[in-house]
Chain A
Amino acid sequence: AQSVSQHNHHVILSEAASLELGCNYSYGGTVNLFWYVQYPGQHLQLLLKYFSGDPLVKGIKGFEAEFIKSKFSFNLRKPSVQWSDTAEYLCAVIDGGSQGNLIFGKGTKLSVKP
């Protein structure tokens, strides 16, 4: 079964710093990849997704992620973070087809200092 690794448990940045959060999945083939975000006190919401096509995917709030098949990676990036980006970020991959399980990583907590 698929697994997802998020290497950073907690990242602390100052405003305007650049962000890159790592996400690796365990095996190849056709993959559907997602980044979800959970702001403090709010429910999880979709940040961006990759199904096929352009490996550079743009999401909401200036986030983007790049799918690199050879590295089994789907890293999340933002050029300049804001205090409002403080949240938990979860990478996820579909396991076993479109009705299969959505496997989540353990999450990365991002704290942005004003």
Chain B
Amino acid sequence: NAGVTQTPKFRVLKTGQSMTLLCAQDMNHEYMYWYRQDPGMGLRLIHYSVGEGTTAKGEVPDGYNVSRLKKQNFLLGLESAAPSQTSVYFCASSSAGLGNSPLHFGNGTRLTVT
């Protein structure tokens, strides 16, 4: 009964380092999303995917790349981390478009960039 699993849970990076956040869902959902949550800013969409092999930009895509090589996984990459990317990152999935099914969220990854 895992749902949406994010790894790692915590990470500290130095400016300029790279890393990949992994999101895995076991619900056979078509749609997957990456959000960041910052104090006083709510949740903002970084990138999303409407199916295996597809990705699209969200509201704040700069500095991030994503890949959806397998239906169950959605990877978020930071090629050269910046302090402005310090945030809590949430992955979510849904079985259909947002108008037809709710989002299922992971527990988040807390990233600090020094």
How does the 8 Å CB contact mask read for B79-113 relative to A, with 1 for contact and 0 for none? 00000000000101000111110110111100000
- For the complex, what is the distance from the CA of A104 to the CA of B43, rounded to whole Å? 6
Q: What's the minimum C-beta distance from A28 to chain B, rounded to whole angstroms?
A: 16
Query: Are B102 and A106 interface neighbours, CB within 8 A?
Result: no
Specify the chain A residue showing the minimal Cβ separation from B106.
A43
Partner of A102, one of B4, B98, B100, B107: B98
Cα-based distance from A92 to B33 in the complex (angstroms): 15
Chain B residues, CB < 8 A from A98? 96-100
A36 to B104, CA, bound (A): 10
| B11 to A: closest C-beta gap in Å | 18
- Alpha-carbon gap, A46 to B108, bound state (A): 16
A contacts with B, residue count (CB < 8 A): 26
B41 touches A106 (CB 8 A): yes
* Chain A residues with CB below 8 A from B96, complex form: 98
Assembled-state Cα–Cα distance A9/B43 (Å): 14
A107 cross-chain contacts in B, Cβ below 8 A:
42
Interchain CB contact under 8 A, B97 and A99 = yes
**Bound: A13/B42 CA distance, A:** 22
B77 lies within 8 A of chain A by Cβ: no
CB-CB under 8 A from A97, the residues of chain B are: 97, 99
Contacts A4-B42, A36-B103, A44-B43 known; list 17 others, CB within 8 Å.
A9-B40, A34-B102, A43-B90, A44-B92, A44-B105, A45-B105, A51-B99, A90-B42, A97-B97, A98-B97, A99-B50, A99-B97, A101-B45, A102-B98, A102-B103, A104-B42, A104-B44
Q: Which residues of B contact A (CB under 8 A)?
A: 4, 31, 33, 35, 40-45, 48, 50, 58-59, 90, 92, 96-100, 102-103, 105-108
